[in-house]
Structure 1
Amino acid sequence: MSEDLNKPFAGVLKTVGFDARFPNTNQTKNCWQNYVDYFKCVKAKGEDYAPCEQFKFAYTELCPPQWTEKWDEQRENNVFPGLYERPAKEHH
């Protein structure tokens, strides 16, 4: 237990900061957008790109685990609508 208290931020509660795009108390859209933004960021910049972690922190704080588990399953099956990319048009 004492080891945990020596870690940075041990025992400090932290939550997602205010986002002007989502001023209302219902944070469903905020949850969704941060989940989508995290995976777009990782795809564009790679898993080691630290700024992507802010999106992950936000969605893990805002989203019910049941939602992200379902979305993770949908991503694995390539049916998650938030990351859908249209196939490139073929030029003849």
Structure 2
Amino acid sequence: MMAGLLEGALAFGFAALGVALALNLWRLVRGPGVADRMLALDTMVINVIGLVVLAGIEEGSDTAFEAALLLAMVGFVGTVAYAKFLLRGDIIE
């Protein structure tokens, strides 16, 4: 009973994150401004982290969670650097 419920929840999670990634890609391509595109990229990183975590749950792998943590750190640093570049035009002062 629990195995079927977990499989259904994982399938729903993968589908929901797939739809979210598709909508983020649409905003990335169609975004009216640079800030909208930057937010779409940041949200895509968050959705990919969710996909990695779901894949780790499905496979029973601890490595996926470490990869998700690394992806979160890189995504955060990338977002901060890109925001600083948009505001000041220079990343390194």
Name the structure, 1 or 2, with higher relative contact order (CA <8 Å, separation 6+): 1
TM-score normalised over the length of structure 1:
0.31
TM-score normalised over the length of structure 2:
0.30
